[in-house]
Amino acid sequence: MNNKNELLSQLRIDRKASPLKPGWIFWVAGSGVVFLAVVISFWLFYEPAPLPVKIQMARMATVDSSSASVLDATGYVVARRSATVSSKVTGKVVEVLFEEGVAVEKDQVLARLDDLNAKKSFDVVKSEVQASKAEVAETRARLVEAKLNFERNLSMVEKKLVSQAAFDLIQANYDSLKAQLNNRQEMVEVNERMLAQQKQYVDDLTIRAPFAGVIVSKDSQPGEMISPNSAGGGFTRTGICTLVDMSSLEIEVDVNESYIQRVHAGQLAEAVLEAYPEWKIPAKVAAIIPTADRQKATVKVRISFQDLDPRILPDMGVKVAFLNPEPPEKQTPKAPLGIRVPTSAVRSVEQHKFVFVVKDGVVEQRKVKLNASYGSDAYISEGLNAGEDFVVDASAPLKKGMKVIQE
């Protein structure tokens, strides 16, 4: 019975217990308001970093009938005079006296190979030359004595004062010394030639520039073996460096054999390097190689630069426009083609074309109309004005109003 009363008493509500304090309610509500204000402020005031893009200024392109191209081709800048400098003999590199990009003169020392053994061999041959010369001097002195003895006994044998046998022995000795002198003089000449050969071998261990040019690659380091022939697998170098004569730079292009009749020697041309698309370089056809590639159906054409420039480098990609050979009296006025832009700058949405124009670091989507498109260039007739900046390429998708920065 007492247990039941105790259980019932536990189920009663204690009216005297203090209710939840209102301060806790205000603290929870205040924290929520602060958190919401932080989120709204971050959303309103946060600005993403500008997107790096390639920007180019729009320029008007024109065409002149007298200079309009009759054929376009692509090729590379090559050097007519280029060499992998090596040594005549196999040896170990002990000194390298150049770096990439350095201009050198003809016969300038580029590197030295180990010449210790070669110099010792040179000293040995030099000693042999000196010894042979000493033998010549000795033989010449003995010959003078034998000659005097021969002449003296010649008069005596005529007077029967010396026997014929004794005189024959004196004459044989005289003739033998003359032969020895000639032989030893020949040996001196042979040894001198061997000395010159050994000196040349020592000189060959000093590598010099065969012509004036610029070092474009450094292929060996001190301690490596170098040889004119490939030997020892990958442990032996076949060259010390690559030397290019920058004054011999020209262009080589492959022209389709179906259009080779449009090209002739001496024809004027314009070259545009891919690294400098706005720079037109005057050029001229130097020669047409009189053979065709049967696999590619092309003919190789050599084109020389009218003016060389330090910005022109070997192996650069280049576009060549072979110009119209019509005489000046047939020229017509220049006609506008529109704004020339790379095709990568033109975007397409359904049937519409547009570009992203940059103003004050913000991109604007501009609808444009194309006049023509040739290769990697497009010509815009409407929607883009000369002098405006536009986006050529972007690392991420662009949207109207995005902030951008030049790469």
Based on the domain organization, do 263 and 224 belong to the same domain?
no
Global pTM value? 0.54
Based on the domain organization, do 125 and 195 belong to the same domain?
yes
Mark which of 304, 330, 356 sits at the end of a domain.
Answer: 330
User: Three-class SS of residue 369?
Assistant: strand
**Residue 340 within a domain:** yes
Residues facing residue 199 across a β-bridge: none
Instruction: Name the domain count of the chain.
Output: 4
The C-alpha atoms of residue 168 and residue 368 are separated, in whole angstroms, by 118
Based on the domain organization, do 190 and 225 belong to the same domain?
no
Report residue 60: phi and psi, to 5°: -75, 135
**Hunting for tokens 């697998």 — which residue is that?**
233
Report residue 222: phi and psi, to 5°: -55, 135
Domain with 340 in it: what CATH number?
2.40.420.20
User: Three-class SS of residue 334?
Assistant: coil
The C-alpha atoms of residue 173 and residue 147 are separated, in whole angstroms, by 9
CA atoms within 13 A on the CB side of 127: 6
Q: What local confidence, expressed as pLDDT, does residue 330 receive?
A: 47
Domain with 103 in it: what CATH number?
2.40.50.100
In 159-248, which ranges are continuous DSSP H helix?
Answer: 164-204
Indicate the DSSP class of residue 205. Answer: T
Q: What local confidence, expressed as pLDDT, does residue 102 receive?
A: 92
Alpha carbon separation from 321 to 260, 284, 302, 307 (Å, rounded): 13, 10, 13, 16
Per-residue pLDDT in tens (0 to 9) along the chain, 407 residues: 455 566 555 555 555 545 545 554 555 556 666 666 655 554 445 456 788 888 888 877 655 544 567 888 999 999 999 999 988 888 899 999 999 999 999 999 999 999 898 889 889 999 988 998 898 898 888 888 888 888 778 878 777 777 788 878 888 888 888 888 888 888 889 989 999 999 988 998 999 999 999 999 998 899 888 888 765 555 677 889 999 999 999 999 999 998 899 899 999 999 999 988 888 899 999 999 999 998 989 999 999 999 889 899 999 999 999 987 655 444 444 555 678 888 888 888 777 888 899 888 888 888 888 877 665 678 888 888 888 888 888 877 888 888 888 87
Residues facing residue 298 across a β-bridge: 256, 293
Q: What local confidence, expressed as pLDDT, does residue 402 receive?
A: 85
Q: What local confidence, expressed as pLDDT, does residue 211 receive?
A: 93
The C-alpha atoms of residue 36 and residue 34 are separated, in whole angstroms, by 5
Based on the domain organization, do 315 and 349 belong to the same domain?
no
**Residue 305 within a domain:** yes
Mark which of 298, 315, 330 sits at the end of a domain.
Answer: 330
Helices 164-204, 116-158: inter-axial angle, 10-degree rounding: 160
Phi-psi region of 205 (alpha: psi -120 to 50; beta: other; left: phi over 0): alpha
Nearest to 311 by CA among 273, 345, 343: 273
| Domain encompassing residue 134 | 116-204
The C-alpha atoms of residue 385 and residue 404 are separated, in whole angstroms, by 20
Mark which of 330, 358, 383 sits at the end of a domain.
Answer: 330
Based on the domain organization, do 110 and 216 belong to the same domain?
yes
